[in-house]
Amino acid sequence: DAGVTQSPTHLIKTRGQQVTLRCSPKSGHDTVSWYQQALGQGPQFIFQYYEEEERQRGNFPDRFSGHQFPNYSSELNVNALLLGDSALYLCASSLPTGTGVGGYTFGSGTRLTVV
């Protein structure tokens, strides 16, 4: 299956620590978006990467940063973790327009717990 792969699936960190989450996009997709889904809420857009650059950013502090590699995979980094950062982090891949065959494909997410 050439869908979106995220790692790790679960993670427990302590307040103040830093974390890196990883995402491999679906084959043929070159754009990666990250979403934060707090418990009982819908996903909220963090940022989007294309051609190794951040193209758009949601209302998240600078503690949230990202990177895209030449093979289109991406990382989400969160510094100085707060209890409120506990959430499911979803990665979605697409083409820049988000349309066409395949559209957007979501991964199964990384469940981050901050204690």
Partner 1 sequence: AQTVTQSQPEMSVQEAETVTLSCTYDTSESDYYLFWYKQPPSRQMILVIRQEAYKQQNATENRFSVNFQKAAKSFSLKISDSQLGDAAMYFCAYRSASGNFNKFYFGSGTKLNVKP
Q: Tell me which residues touch partner 1 (CB under 8 A).
A: 31, 33, 35, 40-45, 48, 50, 55-56, 58, 88, 90, 92, 96-99, 103-104, 106-109, 111
Which residue in the block uniquely carries the two structure tokens 């294309």?
Answer: 50
Which residue number, 15 or 23, has a Cβ lying nearer to partner 1?
23
**Shortest gap between Cβ of 114 and partner 1 (angstroms)?**
18
Backbone φ and ψ of 69, nearest 5°: -95, 165
Which residue number, 15 or 55, has a Cβ lying nearer to partner 1?
55
3-state class (DSSP) for residue 83: helix
**Shortest gap between Cβ of 56 and partner 1 (angstroms)?**
5
Record the tokens describing residue 76, joined without a space.
């989400």
Which residue number, 55 or 63, has a Cβ lying nearer to partner 1?
55
Measure the CA–CA gap between 63 and 80, rounded to whole angstroms.
7
Count of C-beta atoms within a 10 Å radius of residue 74: 25
**Shortest gap between Cβ of 28 and partner 1 (angstroms)?**
17
Record the tokens describing residue 89, joined without a space.
């982090």
**Shortest gap between Cβ of 41 and partner 1 (angstroms)?**
6
